[in-house]
């Protein structure tokens, strides 16, 4: 009978070497806890995804330990298939508080008082330098996303990055190129494709299966977004010893400390919410690898003639007399020759209503199906498959967010080449695709 050979991971080798060395040094037999071997219902240490969390305020802290808009009870910390090894934040109270929670949790789970799993970091580069960290999650301010994602890709880490992806078109493109070049798994934080009971997936499948006829218009329910280097929200104040203000600013222009540690400080217009909406617009159009050919401040036009309006649909009842008012929170409205479909986090509405009564059939379009955004990320870290919000679709949604703001700032309609990812014969517009970073930070 032929022997079956197991493919050893790097962590398997290091774990065995460490165990052998420890046993030899002690001169006694080496005992491995049952939990480390995956007994008693636990996941073996060699099979857990090791993670570092960078930026652990509201959103990042929610991902770590559970909270609003993270859709994971107990956060990544409570998952038996994850081991948190690092917690990073420039604000000491956040960093030390989250670190203490992590270590208390693992100490209680292991039954070993004082057991410490994670280490705290002020500078994210120290965490990225750890060879035992598989993946990192960024819940940092928007202006940091591009630099951090690029450095994480170069360090060989898989990446979950909160939205919005980037403040500029050049930043988003550079992030995409780095992730692809280094072969990393990437999950964008636009979780509507995975969560909310599959409403968004159903709406997009119906649209792409032709249930509303030929698609003519899409309403994103929100405008585009960009950035403004806001110098301050008040008079200068002394920098607390507990905050590394210079590192918080990072690539942003220097400004005196004013207490404004807001992740969206430099965002403008629909930057905070917009990428959720535009991600669903792209998914429903089947445009995850392309973009518009013409851009104005309030609408974009695609090569097939479909117009994307950066606003709410003008009739909140979607044309149904006495019908429910559609809020459009995080959603979109698709308008075709034979009907309309509106979807947000609360509802999916169709006009005529019969569109929703016929289920998706075997010959209809079936889209990527996962009901857990965090779980999908971890599965793909293990299997190396692409995620539901991979770097290409995430980048393209980020472009839709930023493009209207460029047209609005210039004050005219622009031609966009979605293949070359440049404005056509427009040096002024192309100069607005990027921004100079404060040294030593650069793309």
The token pair at 76 is: 């990544």
| pLDDT at residue 122 tops 80 | yes
- In the chain the first and final C-alpha atoms are separated, in Å, by 55
Closest CA to 208 of 366, 328, 371: 366
CATH class as words, domain 193-225+270-431: alpha beta
In angstroms, what CA-CA distances link 216 with 199, 205, 207?
21, 16, 11
- Min mean pLDDT across 6-10, 251-255, 282-286, 430-434 is at 6-10
Mean pLDDT (the chain, rounded): 89
CA dihedral 263, 268, 269, 272 (to 10 degrees): -20
What's the pLDDT at 41?
54
| Beta strands in 143-258, from DSSP E residues, in sequence order | 158-161, 186-188, 215-219, 225-227
Laid out side by side, the sheet with 299-301 consists of 348-351, 340-343, 332-336, 215-219, 307-309, 299-301, 294-295, 414-417, 422-423
Residue in this structure with the two tokens 């929170």, named with its chain if needed: 329
What's the pLDDT at 384?
97
Average pLDDT over every residue of 18-42: 42
What's the pLDDT at 99?
98
| pLDDT at residue 188 tops 50 | yes
Residue in this structure with the two tokens 């070993």, named with its chain if needed: 112
Closest CA to 167 of 142, 203, 135: 142
Backbone dihedral angles phi then psi of residue 414, each to the nearest 5 degrees: -120, 150
In the three-class reduction of DSSP (H, G, I as helix; E, B as strand; rest coil), residue 248 is classed as: helix
What's the pLDDT at 379?
97
Q: Sorting pLDDT into bands at 50, 70 and 90, what band is 42?
A: low
- Min mean pLDDT across 33-37, 64-68, 133-137, 198-202 is at 33-37
**Contact partners, residue 308, CB within 8 Å, separation at least 6:** 217, 218, 219, 220, 281, 285, 292, 299, 300, 301, 302, 400
pLDDT, tens only, 225-260 = 888 888 777 889 999 999 999 999 999 999 999 988
| pLDDT at residue 431 tops 90 | yes
Q: Assess whether the region 34-192 and the region 193-225+270-431 belong to the same CATH fold.
A: no
Domain positions in the chain are 34-192, 193-225+270-431
Q: Which residue has the higher pLDDT, 326 or 230?
A: 326
Q: Which residue has the higher pLDDT, 68 or 284?
A: 284
- Min mean pLDDT across 16-20, 42-46, 128-132, 297-301 is at 16-20
What's the pLDDT at 29?
35
Q: Sorting pLDDT into bands at 50, 70 and 90, what band is 114?
A: confident
- Min mean pLDDT across 268-272, 360-364, 403-407 is at 268-272
What counts of helices (H) and strands (E) characterise the chain? 12, 17
The token pair at 24 is: 């030899």
Backbone dihedral angles phi then psi of residue 305, each to the nearest 5 degrees: 90, -10
Backbone dihedral angles phi then psi of residue 42, each to the nearest 5 degrees: -85, 160
| CB burial readout 302-334, b (16+ within 10 A) else e | beeebbbbbebbeeeebeeeeeeebebebbbbb
Interatomic CA distance for residues 212 and 203, integer angstroms: 11
CATH superfamily assigned to domain 34-192: NAD(P)-binding Rossmann-like Domain (3.40.50.720)
In the three-class reduction of DSSP (H, G, I as helix; E, B as strand; rest coil), residue 340 is classed as: strand
Q: Sorting pLDDT into bands at 50, 70 and 90, what band is 150?
A: very high
| pLDDT at residue 380 tops 70 | yes
Interatomic CA distance for residues 401 and 169, integer angstroms: 9
pLDDT, tens only, 59-111 = 999 999 998 777 878 999 999 999 999 999 999 999 999 999 999 999 999 99
What's the pLDDT at 353?
95
Percentage, residues of the chain above pLDDT 70: 91
| Beta strands in 36-81, from DSSP E residues, in sequence order | 49-54
What's the pLDDT at 1?
35
Instruction: Tell me which range, 9-23, 26-40, 321-335, 349-363, is most confidently predicted by mean pLDDT.
Output: 349-363
The token pair at 8 is: 């050893």
| Beta strands in 209-346, from DSSP E residues, in sequence order | 215-219, 225-227, 267-269, 294-295, 299-301, 307-309, 332-336, 340-343
- The model's pTM is 0.89
Backbone dihedral angles phi then psi of residue 135, each to the nearest 5 degrees: -145, 155
Average pLDDT over every residue of 268-276: 88
Sign (positive/negative) of CA torsion 355, 361, 364, 367?
A: positive
In the three-class reduction of DSSP (H, G, I as helix; E, B as strand; rest coil), residue 332 is classed as: strand
Q: Sorting pLDDT into bands at 50, 70 and 90, what band is 320?
A: very high
Instruction: With beta carbons less than 8 A apart as the criterion, state whether 442 and 436 touch.
Output: no
Please tell me the number of Cα atoms within 13 Å of 266 on its side-chain side.
22
What's the pLDDT at 126?
98
| Beta strands in 157-291, from DSSP E residues, in sequence order | 158-161, 186-188, 215-219, 225-227, 267-269
What's the pLDDT at 24?
37
Interatomic CA distance for residues 375 and 385, integer angstroms: 13
Instruction: With beta carbons less than 8 A apart as the criterion, state whether 216 and 302 touch.
Output: no
Interatomic CA distance for residues 95 and 116, integer angstroms: 15
In the three-class reduction of DSSP (H, G, I as helix; E, B as strand; rest coil), residue 223 is classed as: coil
């Amino acid at each position: 009978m032929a022997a079956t050979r197991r493919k050893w991971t790097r962590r398997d080798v290091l774990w065995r070497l460490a165990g052998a060395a420890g046993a030899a040094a002690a001169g006694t037999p080496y005992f491995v806890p049952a939990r480390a071997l995956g007994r008693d219902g636990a996941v073996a240490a060699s099979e857990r995804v090791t993670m570092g969390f960078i930026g652990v305020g509201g959103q990042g802290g929610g991902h770590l330990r559970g909270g609003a808009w993270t859709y994971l009870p107990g956060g990544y910390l409570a998952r038996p298939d994850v081991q948190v090894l690092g917690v990073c934040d420039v604000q000491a109270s956040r960093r030390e508080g989250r670190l203490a929670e992590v270590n208390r949790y693992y100490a209680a789970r292991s039954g070993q008082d004082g057991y410490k799993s994670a280490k705290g970091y002020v500078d994210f580069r120290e965490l990225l330098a750890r060879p035992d960290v598989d993946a990192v999650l960024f819940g940092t301010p928007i202006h940091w996303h591009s630099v951090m994602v690029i450095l994480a890709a170069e360090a060989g880490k898989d990446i979950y990055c909160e939205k919005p992806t980037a403040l500029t078109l050049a930043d988003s493109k550079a992030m995409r190129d780095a992730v692809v070049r280094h072969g990393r798994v990437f999950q964008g934080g636009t979780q509507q494709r995975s969560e909310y009971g599959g409403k968004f997936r159903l709406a997009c499948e119906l649209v792409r299966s032709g249930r509303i006829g030929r698609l003519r218009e899409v309403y994103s329910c929100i405008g585009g977004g960009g950035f403004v280097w806001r110098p301050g929200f008040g008079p200068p104040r002394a920098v607390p010893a507990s905050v590394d203000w210079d590192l918080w600013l990072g690539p942003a222009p220097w400004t005196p400390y004013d207490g404004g540690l807001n992740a969206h400080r430099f965002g403008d217009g629909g930057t905070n919410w917009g990428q959720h909406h535009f991600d669903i617009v792209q998914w429903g159009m089947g445009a995850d690898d392309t973009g518009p050919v013409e851009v104005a401040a309030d609408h974009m036009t695609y090569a097939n003639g479909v117009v994307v309006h950066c606003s709410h649909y003008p009739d909140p009842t979607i044309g149904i007399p006495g019908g429910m008012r559609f809020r459009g929170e995080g959603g979109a409205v698709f308008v075709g020759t034979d009907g309309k479909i509106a979807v947000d986090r609360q509802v999916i509405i169709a006009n005529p209503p019969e569109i929703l009564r016929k289920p998706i059939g075997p010959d209809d379009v079936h889209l990527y199906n996962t009901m857990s955004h965090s779980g999908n990320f971890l599965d793909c870290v293990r299997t190396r498959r692409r995620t539901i919000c991979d770097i290409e679709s995430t980048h393209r949604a980020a472009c839709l967010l930023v493009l209207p703001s460029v047209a609005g700032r210039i004050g005219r309609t622009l031609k966009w080449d979605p293949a070359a990812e440049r404005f056509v014969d427009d040096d002024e517009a192309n100069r607005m695709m990027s921004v100079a970073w404060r040294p030593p930070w650069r793309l």
